[in-house]
Amino acid sequence: MSRFDAVVVGAGPAGSTAARELAAAGARVLVADRAEFPRYKACGGGIPLRTERLLPFPIDSVVEDSVSLLQVTHHRGSRFVRDSGAPFAHMVMRDRFDALLLDQARTAGAEFRPNTRVTGLEQNGRVRVLADGFAAEADYLICADGAHSPVGKMAGLGEGIAECAAWEVEVAAPAPKLRAYRSTALIDLGYDPWGYAWLFPKASVLSIGVVVPRELGGTMKDSVQAFIDRLGLGGADVDIARGHKIRLRRGGEPIAGQRALLAGDAAGLADEFTEEGIFYAIESGRIAARNVLRALGQGRGVERYQRDIDREVMPELRAARLVAFMFYGMLRRAPRPWMLVSGHIPFLWNAFFAVQRGESTYAREAARVPLLPGLAARMLAD
């Protein structure tokens, strides 16, 4: 049986980041994933610039576009455009981006085993990961296996984390449409009670999708098609169409035990204003590696990982949730006036751009509006 210091299940941003940092520190690491890489991943592929700052290597080779314009529309016809003056996000295809992160982990010394579906898990002093025709034993387990996180469930972690739903398509748009959306992220509002549709530009396709509460998941395909039709893309070929869920950790839901922990989507680390999770996946991967290395050195468990996430990540997610509650609450109460007003409030969008570029945080910006918690609660109470 193969033996490692740590087994990482899932080779997405959280898993590959954790594996890279562990291997770079000299740990014996196995990364297992049920897919062969590169593989398609349902995701809008918007990477805030602050994410790039977390990585010790460039991602230029996989950037398909960089956006500095934010176009916001509403079902009922309202529209405005904000210019950030400089890029606030990169656009990537997740197959290439995730493959780059995995390559960095392998270069650092991590072993990768693709096409490996974990079928069982044993915890008895150490962790034993079982798959068809394969078994590995390790001191610690990092579950970075996505929002469904079957291995996290086997480890008894992640119970009670909230969810929302998303549907995404890749549209082979004609060249004039591709040119029209260069450097522009389009966000369409007006989904009740909350949610948005997006259009993100890529080199040869437009990534288009919608995110809504889980109970509205059955409406997603129709909503995306209606959005595509409004954009004048109804006749364009759709290359790929996939649904996925996004987990949203809000409180003290368990994400760490003595020998196992959850990272990235498995831990519900996405912000509720944008539903973006790649930044938090990479950050949690770093925190996971730090905790495993500490535990290896001290011969202890990794329970402290949850405390570190609660201290370093959750304040930001709570602040993003407050901002989302306020924004969507105002939008529900008075859609036309709120679109008009928000389009002309420099603070709101300048703060958003600053957060995306890593120049500020949601928590810092929310603290500038001390009445925000009460305002958010009242907005969503109606």
Q: Model confidence at 1, in pLDDT bands (50, 70, 90)?
A: low
CA–chain centroid gap for 45, Å, is 9
As a whole number, mean pLDDT of residues 187-191 equals 95
Q: Any idea where the domains of the chain sit in the sequence?
A: 2-43+94-161+249-312, 70-86+163-247, 322-381
Q: Report phi then psi at 204, rounded to 5.
A: -130, 0
Task: State the chain's mean pLDDT as an integer.
Answer: 94
How many H helices and E strands in the chain?
13, 17
Q: Domain 70-86+163-247 classified CATH 1.20.120.420? A: no
CA distance linking residue 179 with residue 249, whole number of Å: 38
pLDDT tens digits along 157-171: 999 999 999 999 999
Which CATH class name applies to 2-43+94-161+249-312?
alpha beta
pLDDT tens digits along 291-338: 999 999 998 999 999 999 999 999 999 999 999 988 898 898 889 998
Q: pTM to 2 decimals?
A: 0.95
pLDDT tens digits along 207-216: 999 999 999 9
Q: Model confidence at 371, in pLDDT bands (50, 70, 90)?
A: low
Residues in a beta bridge with 288 = none
pLDDT on residue 369: 76
pLDDT on residue 192: 87
